[in-house]
Chain A
Amino acid sequence: MCLGVPALVTQIKGNEATVRVGNVEYNSSLLLLNNVNTGDYILLHAGFAIEKIDRHEAEETLRLFNEISDLEKE
């Protein structure tokens, strides 16, 4: 229930999106997700895009980790 991998949407055809992880391509199903656009990152699980990756939140999470390292230096 857990193995999910971030993948970049490069093309959309109806209910399918061509996604790319590194140089590997896969035709992912979009049956579980609306409003997907090329350039989005989705979470690929068992052949389906199950959620979009929120880049802003991803950066926030990393900033939080960096803050911890700043606290360390003080």
Chain B
Amino acid sequence: MKAGDFPFVDEYRDEKSVKKIARQIKDISKKRINLMEVCGGHTMAIHKNGLQDFLPENITLLSGPGCPVCVSSQRFVDHAIAIGRFPEIILTTYGDLIRVPGSVSSLEKEKGKGIEIRIVYSVLEALEIAKANKKKKVVFLGIGFETTAPASAATIIQAEMQKIHNFFLLSAHKVMPPALETLAKEDTQIDGFIAPGHVSAITGYGIYRKLSDVYGKAVVISGFEPLDILQSVLMLVKQIESKLFKVENEYTRVVRPEGNLKAQTLLNRVFTPENAEWRGLGWVPESGLSVSDEFSAFDATRHFLVSLPKQEYPKGCSCGEILTGKKKPSDCKLFSVVCTPINPIGACMVSSEGTCSIFYNYKA
């Protein structure tokens, strides 16, 4: 296998090895099982590489709620828009959040009406924008799970050290364990989890123990290349066939058992857990991260007083059931009829790694 231009990536995309692991899976997989991949990156990798074609028909892959854009609530978008309408505001955000529908509008539509919003690759760019625009107030829209929240934490600490008081965070950061526990508790259809590799790089293995030890689910922490994902499926199948449930790590080149302690420390210092609203799932206790009192000066929710439109949820939208693997996109009445990538109703269609968007674009 050649590394090509891209070491630690190309070797894990080799077609021959993919086919070999697929054959192994077919050989040992007897039971009808449902495996949930939680992370938007896994959903994307599976469909972009056509990996579902390599699995035997007794294995069903379900897509979970691990897409940060997909689960960003309507309320959060409304909040961002309300803040963005103040004249001195520059909103900054990661990628496709701008297309997510709020109750009335979206950030993209508001941009057309004059809100200043800039897309950044790193939250530190937002800090630089604040430094360069002292008369403005720069608000960063913080979405993402444990992989991404530490970046926001580190940036707030930098803002404090450098006394950049025109930088604010509007946090919609979330953590995975409460949502995973909800899925494991309520939904007996899920036999195993393909656990998110980069969340795990930050948190370590511990967050999944309850899933295997208490709820009897197979758990394998997986990387994002085709070989990683198929290898993880093989490991899950072995656990399930032998009924020995545990937390295993396929992604050993990146994930350590204890995770990234420095990032965890920053998270715990800058954020406190709170109840959070997940689009499609509703309120999940202790699953959100809000800015702690120590850093309240950078908390957009405390600095900007806004009133939000009444929250009404689109009728007929099945995002909740799709995000928990209970329904497929084709089961939703609105799918491809009313809800399309050009006119998304729910967040599953908005984000390019949303289940419905992928179903629409990639499936024959």
Contacts and interface: CB of A to CB of B under 8 A. Distances in A.
Nearest to A73: B20
A10 interface: no
A47 B94 CA distance: 11
Interface in A7-24: 21-22
Contact of B20 (A33, A57, A60, A72): A72
Interface size class of chain A, counting residues whose CB lies under 8 Å from the partner chain: 35 or more
Given A1-B145, A33-B260, A43 B9 contact: no
A48 B24 CA distance: 37
Most buried by B among A32, A58, A62: A32
A1 B69 CA distance: 10
B260 A1 contact: no
A7 B266 CA distance: 23
Contacts of B325: none
Contacts of B148: 1, 45-46
Interface string B1-25: 1000111110110101100110110
Contacts of A37: none
Interface in B206-235: 224, 227-228, 231
B42 A2 contact: yes
Contacts of B1: 62
B20 A68 contact: yes
B154 A32 contact: yes
Interface residues of B, number: 57
Contact of A46 (B11, B21, B121): B121
B263 A1 contact: no
A48 B154 contact: yes
Contacts, number: 135
Interface of B: 1, 5-9, 11-12, 14, 16-17, 20-21, 23-24, 39-42, 66, 68, 94, 121-125, 144-148, 150-151, 154, 157-158, 196-199, 201-202, 224, 227-228, 231, 250, 252-256, 260, 262-263, 266
Contacts of A22: 5-6
Contacts of A55: 253
B151 A47 contact: yes
Contacts of A43: 198, 201, 254
B121 A58 contact: no
Nearest to A35: B262
Given A33-B262, A54-B252, A1 B6 contact: no
A50 B94 CA distance: 17
A41 B163 CA distance: 33
A1 B17 contact: no
A48 B6 CA distance: 19
A28 to B, nearest CB: 9
Nearest to B223: A61
A33 B42 CA distance: 24
Contact of B123 (A41, A46, A53): A46
A60 B147 contact: no
Contact of A65 (B8, B21, B151): B21
A50 B253 contact: no
Contacts of B256: 51
A45 B147 contact: yes
A2 B124 contact: no
